[in-house]
Amino acid sequence: MADDVTEILNRTDRDITQAAALLAAGKLVAFGTETVYGLGADAANAKAVAAIFEAKGRPHFNPLICHYESADAVFAHVEANAMAQRLADTFWPGPLTLVLPRRITCPVALLAGAGLETLAVRVPAHPVAQRLIAALGRPVAAPSANRSGGVSPTSAAHVLAGLGGRIAAIIDSGACRVGVESTVLDLSGPTPFLLRPGGVSLESLEAAIGPVRRGVTPGQAERTRTLRSPGLMISHYAPTLPLRMDAADAAVDEAVLAFGPPLAGARLVFQLSADTNLNEAAARLFEGLHWLDAQAPAYGLRRIAAMAVPAHGLGLAINDRLSRAAAPRD
């Protein structure tokens, strides 16, 4: 269900109403959230959800996040527990996704959750996302609005470059404040487990609910073994150019992703944060990868050297995305 022409919408009430009507008709609409742009479909419409996988070229075993208007709406579809309630009170609306057991009555298409008994849910803080979900009156399933494996988009222009001609519309929602995807926390087991570091830091999660486990669970290892190509999942968020992390020098053919004073001799630099502010660096990370990809060829540069970023606060999410971008590709 490709749409040849992708319409660019604005933030007026009329445009939001039009975007919601497109979703209700089973079409795909990209919209801004505070983390990254999402590629939205009516979560209850299995055909529309299937179209997300098609437009992104996303493997069907990789489940989507459902976006809700409020915590009450979330907990009508998934089973809450005390930790989920506490986290919802503390961080929603905001960049936190919780994985919880689906209720039997949950109307979200099974495909959205890739057939799992759990569902990933969040309440976004961006006004455009909130107004769109409210106008549809149902949850919106939305992965990041990029081709599978590519860098997540933090502007309408990024979405258009990656998915233009494949989706019905993009709501130009401005730049994304947080800039890295939401933190994904699995609360469906006996102890909370960090599946993906993101916009809410591990430190602030632990301040709210105590220790959070991380690393690879036996269940995840099992799932990874069953994947057609495990490398497909590890190499994610990848720019077109090869990238190496923790660079202490820049080779002649390398563009530099800087954090603080740039490496000596660099001919092309994207500065994440001159005064090493991790929140600013997170907000600029994907912009930087998109920009270096676009600019490097004109300078005869073929690789990206990313300077070291400390792994605390949002630095954990930044390092996670950089290590995926640096992972070997198929």
Within positions 265 to 304, which residues make up the interface with ligand TXA, using CB under 6 A? none
- How far is residue 194 CA from its own chain's centroid? 15
- Would you list the DSSP string of 209-243? HS--B-S--HHHHHHHHHSS-HHHHHS-S--SS-E
The least CB distance from residue 299 to Mg ion, in Å, is 29
Applying CB under 6 A, which part among 31-39, 74-82, 202-210, 312-320 lies near ligand TXA? 31-39
For the bound state, the minimum distance from the C-beta of residue 232 to Mg ion, rounded and expressed in Å, comes to: 13
Residue 109 exposed, middle or buried by CB count within 10 Å (0-12, 13-18, 19+): buried
Rounded CA gap, 239 and 19, in Å? 29
Which stretch of DSSP H or E encloses residue 97? strand 96-101
Please identify, using beta-carbon distances, which residue of 96 and 296 lies nearer to ligand TXA: 96
Among 3, 181, 254, 293, binds ligand TXA (CB under 6 A): 181
DSSP 264: T
Pick from 49, 80, 83, 99 the residue near ligand TXA by CB under 6 A.
Answer: 99
Residue nearest to Mg ion (CB): 144
DSSP H helical segments within 164-305, as ranges? 202-209, 218-226, 230-234, 278-295
- Dist CA 26 CA 179 (whole Å): 28
38 binding ligand TXA? (CB under 6 A): yes
Question: 94 contacts which partner out of Mg ion, ligand TXA, none, CB within 5 to 8 A by kind?
Answer: none
Binding to ligand TXA (CB under 6 A) within 195-224 occurs at 195-196
Decide if residue 154 touches ligand TXA (CB under 6 A). Answer: no
When CB distances are held under 5 to 8 angstroms depending on the partner's kind, the choice from ligand TXA, Mg ion, none that residue 65 binds is ligand TXA
Stretch that binds ligand TXA, among 34-42, 237-245, 272-280, 316-324 (CB under 6 A): 34-42
Q: Is 62 in the site for ligand TXA (CB under 6 A)?
A: yes
Structure tokens at 28: 């795909």
- Spatial CB neighbours of 171, under 8 Å, sequence gap ≥ 6: 9, 10, 11, 15, 16, 19, 29, 30, 31, 32, 128, 132, 156
Q: Report residue 116 as tokens.
A: 């799992």
Q: By CB under 6 A, is residue 24 in contact with ligand TXA?
A: no
Helix, strand and coil percent figures for the chain, each rounded to 5: 35, 15, 50
Q: Which of 8, 46, 76, 116 binds ligand TXA (CB under 6 A)?
A: 116
Q: Is 94 in the site for ligand TXA (CB under 6 A)?
A: no
Q: Is 142 in the site for ligand TXA (CB under 6 A)?
A: yes
| Residue 311 backbone phi and psi in degrees, to 5 | -95, 45
Q: How many residues bind ligand TXA (CB under 6 A)?
A: 24
Parallel/antiparallel/unpaired status of strands 38-42 and 303-306 = unpaired
Which positions lie near Mg ion, rule CB under 5 A?
A: 144
Nearer to ligand TXA, 95 or 315 (CB): 95
Residue with Cβ nearer ligand TXA (196 or 303) = 196
User: Which residues make up the interface to ligand TXA (CB under 6 A)?
Assistant: 33, 35-36, 38, 62-65, 95, 97, 99, 113, 116, 118-120, 142-144, 181-182, 184, 195-196
